[in-house]
Amino acid sequence: MPAGPDPTINGLRFVVTAGGTREPIDPVRFIGNRSSGKMGNALAAAALRQGARVTLVTAAPAPAAQPGLDIVAVETAAEMHAAVRAALADASVLIMAAAVADWRPREVAGNKLKKGADTLTIELVPTVDILRALRDDGAAKDVFVVGFAAETEHVIDNARAKLDAKDLDLIVVNDVSREGIGMGADDNEVTVIDRDGTVRAIARAPKSDVADAIVRIIASRVR
C-alpha cells in the first residue's frame, strides 16, 4: 500500500534528480547511459504522497504536473548541477537518484559529424561531480543529502566508500548487473546505508514501493 502523509516531512522541500544526463558530441549525438528516470520519478511521487513539496530536476521525460511538484528539465551534468544548486535554497532534503555522466567530450562539434573515416577519436574530460561540488561550496549546508550508487561488483564496499568520500548522510545502492532491477526496469532492489553504519535491505519490489520505503527511512532520519 502507498505510504500516506508523514508529519515529519509534511511541507518540507525535497529536491530529487532523475534520468541519465546527455553530454553532446555534435547536434544529434551524445554520450549517455541506460537510466530511464523511473526511480527518480518514483521517489518524487513518494515524497509528494508523504506530504513533501518536490522540485524534480530531470534529464528524462517528466511526469504529469501535479500540486506540490515543480519540474526543471535539464540535459547535461553542468545543467543539472546549476539547477540543483538553485533549488537547494529552500530545501531540506536532496535525493540524487539521477545517473550523471562521468565524462563529456572536450569539444562539441558545431555540425553533424559525417561518416567517412575508419575511426573517430573523441577526447573526453570529467563532468562536474555534483555531490562533491555542492558540499565543497556549501550549497548543501544543512540539507540532508542522499546519494545513489549503481554498482556491478563489491557493491556494499563501493557504496560505503562513496558515502564517506562525498560526505553523504545516506546512500542507496543497487547491483545493476542483476537482471530485472535497476536502470530501465520497473522493479528495484536496494540496500540503504546510513552514515552511522546502519544497513537496511529493501527487497525486490516495484519502484514505487521501493521509493516509499526509502522516503520513510529519510523521514526517520530528519526527525
Which residues belong to the active site? Answer: 33
10 closest CA partner among 92, 95, 96: 92
Residue 126, burial from CB neighbour count under 10 angstroms (0-12, 13-18, 19+): exposed
Residue listed under C-alpha cell 540524487: 96
In contact, 90 and 13? CB cutoff 8 Å: yes
63 closest CA partner among 45, 49, 76: 45
C-alpha cell at 93: 532534503
C-alpha cell at 32: 549517455
In contact, 202 and 213? CB cutoff 8 Å: yes
In contact, 23 and 30? CB cutoff 8 Å: yes
